[in-house]
Structure 1
Amino acid sequence: MSKATRATSALLKAGVSFTVRTYDYDPDARQIGLQAAEALGADPGRVLKTLMATVDGKPVCAIVPSNREVSMKRLAAALGGKSASMLAPAEAERITGYVVGGISPFGQNRRCPVAIEESALAHERVYINGGQRGVQLDLSPTDAAHFLEAIVASIAS
């Protein structure tokens, strides 16, 4: 498993501080984010999952704690839209250039609007996918939100 990905390259280029953490990815896990939290020995509220959706038909990225779900209504409102829905896995892979289970908000093929759950910013450090299955990046959620030019809002239920 390589620790160098488009995500790590993008963060390094921007001067964002992070640490790479690897774990044994379980492709059969019911909830990938919760499996990552358990494998890392981390609070599930600090392990953030990256979800790809659409708001009014346009792709967006939602980042929420692994133990919560994204509210489509709140996501649409946060990004100034009327409706939101999850992208099909194949479409998410095509837009991001990453494989499901390894989708990172950093270094995606196609830049799209990002919303991050506001409760994530209460933590000093969080884990966000590093662009490969079994790779998590330990970084400041404020740094992540700033780098992504993310909308910080209550988008999780």
Structure 2
Amino acid sequence: VGRDGFTWTGVQKITRKAEWPDWHPPTEMIERQPYLPRFMAGGPGNPLGARAMYLGSTVYRIHGTNQPSTIGKFVSSGCIGMLNEDVSDLFDRVKVGTRVVVMPGGPPPGTATASAAPVPGAAGPAPMAAQAGPVGGTQPTVVPPLPAPVTVR
């Protein structure tokens, strides 16, 4: 999971679950992407989507997305993104305390990754960032910002 510099592997447990969670981007993410809001209330435009399952004491989550085209493109800052309908189904089936195993891997052959270049003048939410550092990987010293997402209404 995660784009270059934010990949990680390891075992965590789901420590909390939330429906339509609020989003507070970590300081490190705001430093990389100063155009981000400091708070976003839960709802259809929120980057955490319809449901979030919090992994251990990390800032990583399994969550929905309002940008389904990013799924499988290795653009997150370490979170596991799912279609809102899929994360809602999983949310209903797992309990707090469920073990989550993140295994190493790479993009499937022929899978393109999204560009990390910012969109000039754009603003908006982005996936969660690693605040406490990756669980099983290493953190880069310089990370380019993700492009600003597009909200479709």
**RCO greater where, 1 or 2, for CA within 8 Å and sep 6 or more?**
2
Q: Normalized per residue, which structure has more strand?
A: 1
**TM-score normalised over the length of structure 1:** 0.28
Q: Normalized per residue, which structure has more helix?
A: 1
**TM-score normalised over the length of structure 2:** 0.29
